[in-house]
Amino acid sequence: MIHSVCVYLHDDSAWLLMYRNKKPHDVNHGKWIGVGGKMEKDETPLTCAIRETREETGYELVPDSLQLQGEVLFDSPLAETEKIWIYTAQVQKHDLPVCNEGTLAWVKEEDIFSLPMWDADRIFLKEVLAGIQQPFYYRARYDEAGRLTGLSKGDE
C-alpha cells in the first residue's frame, strides 16, 4: 500500500490546486488535485506534507499551520491501493514556481467543482470547503475506467 499526503492551500479568496498535465503515465493526468505526494521512509504524514508543499510550491509551512482534514483510502485497478492524509493550510498568495508535477493555479472557491477531478475528491472537498471540523475517513473504489463504483464513510 502506498502512503501519501494531499495538501490544499488557501487564502481568503482562493485555493491552490494543481492540474496534473506533466508526468507520463500519471494516474492523475488531466485532473485537478491538491499538492502532495508519497511519504518517504521514516516520514510522518505531517513531515511529508511540509516537504511536498515546499518542493512543489515554495511555501515553508510549519506543523502548527497544517490542519488534518481526514483520510481517504483509494482502491483502483489503475494503481496500487493508496492511503492519503488530507491537510489544509492558510497561506498568503505569492508567485508560484514552475512545478514538474503539473500546473499550479489559484482557483476561486466557487469555480473548484467545475474542474475535472476525481469523484471522491468532490465529495470530501465539499466537507473541507464547508469548514466541517470532524475529520473524515473515506474508502473510495474505482473501476478500470476511473469511475467511482463505491464510497464508504467511517468504518463501513
What local confidence, expressed as pLDDT, does residue 94 receive? 82
Can you tell me the distance from the alpha carbon of 11 to that of 50, in angstroms, rounded to the nearest whole number?
17
**pLDDT tens digit sequence for 64-75:** 999 999 999 999
What local confidence, expressed as pLDDT, does residue 156 receive? 47
pTM score of the predicted model:
0.94
Q: How many residues does the chain have?
A: 156
Name residues whose C-beta falls within 8 Å of residue 36's C-beta, 6 or more positions apart in sequence: 4, 5, 6, 7, 48, 49, 52, 53, 56, 84
